[in-house]
């Protein structure tokens, strides 16, 4: 059956909407008979036994990343440390180079997306190309361009520009934690559901999380920051009707930056 190009574009746009709304799968790994009602107690047991156990080697890699991150005494040194790290699985999955961050390392705003894209990999900087242009325009609209440092939850491009896995985010998290320690920003802007979940360790969809202030607190030390989630610029390019909500979120962010100045 032939499908018109406009229909394909509509389908892609709809899928992008559901992805950024937090829907990350349309089927389960095994068939489920929905006609069978499972007692709540049995559901609880099934959920407990299905809990993800982090492998020992992953914990070792995270420990290595944490030690490497702690050795950096500046954002520039942290970027260099990340470039030498080989513990993230994405390094061996075709990534052509490390993409850490860009912007003001002494700024008051930390902006976090989910992962580098093809344009970022080519440029060696996050938020490049058309997505970067829109991101810069969003920040300029609230006079935050000079205050912002932009990065992602992982620093290597995932194959096919897929979303990074929680394990990949966990491997890179010590570097993101150290960035928060070094910058001590007045606010953090999380772009998209994947970034919000990875940083805040929350299962909320971006539709529910956006526009709400959350606390990002590190496990060690008295380090924390106020974090605000909004739609990713890539989503806004496909769903421009959501720009009204994103603009409201940016105004909320601008108010917080002004209050804490």
Structurally, the chain folds into a number of domains equal to 1
Residue 40 covered by a domain: no
- CATH number, domain containing residue 93: 3.40.470.10
- Predicted confidence (pLDDT) per residue in 98-142, tens digit: 999 999 999 999 999 999 999 999 999 999 999 999 999 999 999
Residue 39 covered by a domain: no
Is pLDDT above 50 for 38? no
What is the span of the domain harbouring residue 248? 54-259
Lowest mean pLDDT among 2-16, 58-72, 104-118, 144-158: 2-16
Residue 65 covered by a domain: yes
Residue 128 covered by a domain: yes
Residue 28 covered by a domain: no
Residue 12 covered by a domain: no
Residue 44 covered by a domain: no
Residue 13 covered by a domain: no
- Predicted confidence (pLDDT) per residue in 146-201, tens digit: 999 999 999 999 999 999 999 999 999 999 999 999 999 999 999 999 999 999 99
Q: Minimal CA–CA distance to 221: which of 187, 178, 158?
A: 178
- The whole-chain average pLDDT of the chain stands at 86
For the whole prediction, is pTM greater than 0.85? Answer: no
């Amino acid at each position: 059956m032939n499908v018109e190009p406009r229909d394909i574009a509509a389908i892609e746009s709809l899928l992008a909407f559901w992805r950024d709304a937090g829907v990350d799968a349309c089927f389960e790994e095994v068939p489920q008979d929905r006609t069978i009602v499972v007692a709540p107690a049995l559901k609880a047991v099934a959920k407990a036994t299905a809990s993800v156990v982090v492998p020992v080697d992953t914990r070792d890699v995270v420990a290595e990343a944490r030690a490497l991150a702690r050795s950096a005494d500046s954002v520039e040194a942290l970027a260099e440390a990340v470039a030498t790290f080989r513990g993230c699985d994405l390094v061996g999955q075709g990534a052509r180079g490390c993409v850490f961050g860009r912007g003001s390392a002494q700024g008051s705003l930390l902006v976090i997306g989910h992962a580098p894209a093809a344009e970022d990999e080519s440029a060696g900087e996050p938020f490049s190309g058309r997505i970067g242009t829109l991101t810069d325009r969003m920040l300029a609209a609230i006079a935050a361009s000079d205050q912002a440092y932009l990065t992602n939850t992982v620093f290597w491009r995932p194959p096919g520009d897929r979303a990074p896995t929680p394990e990949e985010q966990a491997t890179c998290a010590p570097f993101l934690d150290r960035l928060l320690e070094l910058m001590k920003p007045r606010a953090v802007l999380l772009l998209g559901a994947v970034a919000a979940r990875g940083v805040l360790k929350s299962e909320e969809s971006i539709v529910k999380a956006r526009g709400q202030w959350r606390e990002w607190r590190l496990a060690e030390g008295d380090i924390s920051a106020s974090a605000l989630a909004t739609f990713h610029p890539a989503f806004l390019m496909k769903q421009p009707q959501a720009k009204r909500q994103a603009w409201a979120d940016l105004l909320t962010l601008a108010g917080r930056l002004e209050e804490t100045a």
